[in-house]
Amino acid sequence: MLYLKPEFVTSILLSYNDTMLKGKNILIGITGGIAAYKICTLIRLYKKSGANVRVVVTPNALNFVTKLTLQSLSQNEVFSDCFEINDYKPEHIALTESDIFIIAPASANTIGKLANGICDNLLLSTACAFKKPILIVPAMNTNMWENPFVQDNLEKLKNCGFHILEPDSGFLACGTNGTGRMREPDEIYDKSVEILTKNNFLSGKKILITAGGTKEKIDPVRYITNASSGKMGIALARNAQQMGAEVTLVSTFNADGDFENIVTPTAQEMETTVKSKLNEVDCVIMAAAVSDFRVKEYSSQKIKKTSSDTMTLELVKNPDILKEISDLKTNTKIIGFCAESENLIENAKEKIKAKGCDFLIANDISRKDIGFNSDENEVYILDKALNIKKLDKDTKNNIAKRILEEIFE
């Protein structure tokens, strides 16, 4: 008699009742692993939910499943060759027009190549050009799974925003017991629904994010600035856009991304832009490091060196954009950042009270491993009631995701 665990039955029922996949474009990538046969069931689950399924395989995957089977189940052509171009667009670009890319089973070989930007087949080239979520579902022998290179490659992918559905332990096709068994098709399906739901959770929201250190001009060639790299603001903009928001990035430099980018090098230019957009957006995240002062008199000619050993620049206060937009008490949610080199929490509490914003993200710039110019960060999120939540050290990409989840949930 077939026995199904109750949670397994619930999961299947939930999945089949799910309508959110109707009309979604699901791209499945199959690599050369024995678990490839299970992907036939996965394709059936997506087809039943009304999704459009396309399949791309590595040449090695075709040793395990046939194109004919995959084609019949997906009711679409199956892609395997980079150079078989049917349309004006190469396949690896056409296939990126999908809502999610699920690579299952993901072999150790493909995981290694993905983590190193190698594109020597259609599946890898597609993944390299893919901007929406990618779900990696590894499956391999236990010794391969435990290999430090494989683990390092997975860690690298995780840090770059790939979703990983880690393998189960149990009896493996190679006849051994251990970790490495690919997750069942219904678990892969449920994970993809979870990613797509989360991915869309900012849909309909308009978010303005500021980034970078302002450049306060002294003369045509010199300016006063600070050590902010703008990496945190860009990570927030990319993640908000990927979660479905309409994003405007107001930055002190040109930034690439699928969002509107307005370049405002100085605090005053940033203030004008942010205020003009304040009522059009649901949220403003002030991640830019805005200079507190600017020079009183800008010199339109380059200032010449003189015989004097000293030089005095008179500075005047810049607008406090965060406080000014918070004081306007609009319906727009306002999030500020604070960079402190000492007494982080105490200073952050004082700052949120003084500025009146909805949330304050505090980070410690005295540490070399996080904050300014680093790829990693560790932050504390304070709300108006002075509740504090710590987000442990992680990549700025992952911290950005967590911040957006915290402030919008």
Sites of contact with ligand FMN (CB under 6 A): 31-35, 58, 60-61, 105, 107-110, 139-140, 144
Cβ 176 to ligand FMN shortest distance, Å: 12
Cβ 127 to ligand FMN shortest distance, Å: 12
The strand pairing partners of 251, in sequence order, are 211, 263
Tokens, residue 164: 């990983």
Is position 174 annotated as part of the catalytic site? yes
Closer to ligand FMN by CB, 31 or 210: give it.
31
Closer to ligand FMN by CB, 57 or 232: give it.
57
Whole-angstrom distance, CA of residue 104 vs CA of residue 362: 39
Closer to ligand FMN by CB, 118 or 388: give it.
118
Closer to ligand FMN by CB, 32 or 371: give it.
32
Cβ 302 to ligand FMN shortest distance, Å: 58
Whole-angstrom distance, CA of residue 402 vs CA of residue 161: 12
- 345: three-class secondary structure by DSSP: helix
CA distances from 210 to 249, 336, 364 (A): 6, 10, 19
Q: Alpha helix (H) ranges present in 278-329?
A: 321-327
In the chain, the amino acid numbered 302 is K
Q: Which DSSP helix (H) or strand (E) runs through 283?
A: strand 283-286
Cβ 173 to ligand FMN shortest distance, Å: 7
Q: Which DSSP helix (H) or strand (E) runs through 250?
A: strand 246-251
- Minimal CA–CA distance to 373: which of 289, 259, 262, 265? 289
Q: Residues 40, 128, 174, 357: which is the catalytic one?
A: 174
Active-site amino acid positions:
174
